[in-house]
């Protein structure tokens, strides 16, 4: 993942992955049973993060908008699943089982990392919009119009 670590967006994505790994390990440490729905949501999140790392490492043009969408989804998802009172099958409200400070930190950390990812995605998009076309891009654009 050297390619992913070379940009602020890539570093933000890696921090989110690390925070999510720590959160998953904390679930194991707690020894609590998760519902199939919560488990499936977690798996979907891992798939989204894997796709994000590939897009960022390849410098894909969709990396920044995808990162923004993933960041918002992760932040909203963590709040909805772990902080809101029980509201449905996807709920795993932490206040209902009185977790320790480590568990609370490992809910806050992925939310903060996800919001940082959104911020870095926004910055990456604005840098892309402001950058002038490279030498090859300008020539290709003018030949395409002819």
**Domain limits of the chain?**
4-145
pTM: 0.82
In this prediction, residues 106-110 reach a mean pLDDT of 97
Tens digits of residue pLDDT in 24-59: 999 999 988 888 999 899 999 999 999 999 999 999
Question: Residue 33 — φ and ψ, nearest 5°?
Answer: -85, 130
Tens digits of residue pLDDT in 56-105: 999 999 999 999 999 999 999 999 999 999 999 999 999 988 899 999 99
Contact 4, 53 (CB under 8 A): yes
pLDDT at res. 135: 60
Helices and strands in the chain: count of H runs, count of E runs: 5, 0
In this prediction, residues 10-29 reach a mean pLDDT of 96
What burial letters (b/e) apply to 4-23, b meaning 16+ CB within 10 Å? Answer: beebebbbbbbbbbebbeeb
């Amino acid at each position: 993942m050297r390619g992913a670590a070379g940009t602020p967006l890539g570093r933000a994505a890696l921090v989110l992955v690390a925070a999510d790994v720590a959160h998953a390990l904390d679930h194991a440490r707690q020894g609590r049973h998760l519902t199939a729905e919560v488990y499936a949501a977690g798996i979907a999140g891992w798939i989204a993060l894997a796709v994000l790392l590939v897009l960022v490492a390849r410098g894909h043009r969709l990396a920044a908008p995808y990162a923004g969408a993933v960041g918002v989804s992760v932040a909203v998802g963590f709040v909805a699943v772990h902080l809101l009172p029980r509201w449905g099958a996807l709920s795993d409200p932490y206040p209902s089982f009185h977790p320790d400070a480590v568990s609370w930190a490992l809910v806050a950390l992925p939310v903060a990392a996800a919001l940082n990812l959104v911020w870095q995605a926004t910055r990456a998009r604005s840098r892309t919009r402001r950058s002038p076309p490279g030498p090859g891009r300008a020539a290709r654009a003018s030949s395409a119009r002819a």
